[in-house]
Amino acid sequence: MKRIWLSSLFIMAQGCASVSNNTVSSNETSNNGNPLVESTSSLEQSCVGSPVINGQLGLKFDLIKDEELLSKALGEPNQGKLCQGKVYQSNQEVTIYRAWNSTNPHSQFGQWWAFERPSGLTADYRTDYEICYQWSPLDKMVKCTLKPGTQVVVGNGQSAKCSEYLTYPSSEKQQVFIVNAADAVLDCKEYDSVMSWK
């Protein structure tokens, strides 16, 4: 009887030890210094989508390294810009689009562009590309050709807090960041927004 009792005690002690060894303290870190257990708030701010350019479009770009350019495009949570990105150099002409603000003449050739032509509901476009109403009424669009040899950052949008009542989450939609767009594009054509109701 004594042996059975000691064996049971030993098995229970082993079980407790294995449970405690599998428990990760919030202060423990991985080899790179990052916490092994993330808080809920940091998980909510994680990036979605991929900065990799796929398909036929991907053949028009070469992946390069430029940490300085990448850092200009990345933003903190709730501040807009990109959540994640990769730096590319175009090796042939590429069609790009930008919705912009007609009241600001410098807005036409701003830094933020897209591979996809804006379509559908304006509210959905704002959500997909994290464009606060204070930043632009999105009443104009320009379609341009990106010149070969242009360095860009392609990535997914970071969350943007527009007001106490409106915050856009990070998005999987790819955005194109161009530092000097006026010098990087050609054959541009402007379009006006037209009021339409469904």
Angle at 160 between CA 157 and CA 166, to 5 degrees: 135
Instruction: Report the pLDDT value the prediction gives residue 24, as an integer from 0 to 100.
Output: 34
Distance in angstroms between the alpha carbons of the first and the last residue of the chain? 82
Per-residue model confidence as pLDDT tens for the chain (198 residues): 444 444 443 444 444 443 333 333 333 333 334 443 333 234 335 899 999 999 999 999 999 999 999 999 999 999 999 999 999 999 999 999 999 999 998 899 999 999 999 999 999 999 999 999 999 999 999 999 999 999 999 999 999 999 999 999 999 999 999 999 999 999 999 999 988 888
Instruction: Report the pLDDT value the prediction gives residue 46, as an integer from 0 to 100.
Output: 85
User: Which candidate, 151, 150, 154, 152, places its Cα nearest to that of 85?
Assistant: 154
Instruction: Report the pLDDT value the prediction gives residue 198, as an integer from 0 to 100.
Output: 81
Global pTM exceeds 0.85: no
Instruction: Report the pLDDT value the prediction gives residue 103, as an integer from 0 to 100.
Output: 93
Query: Are 162 and 134 a contacting pair, CB within 8 Å?
Result: yes
Helix or strand or coil: residue 22?
helix
DSSP string, 166-183: -EEPP--SEEEE-TTHHH
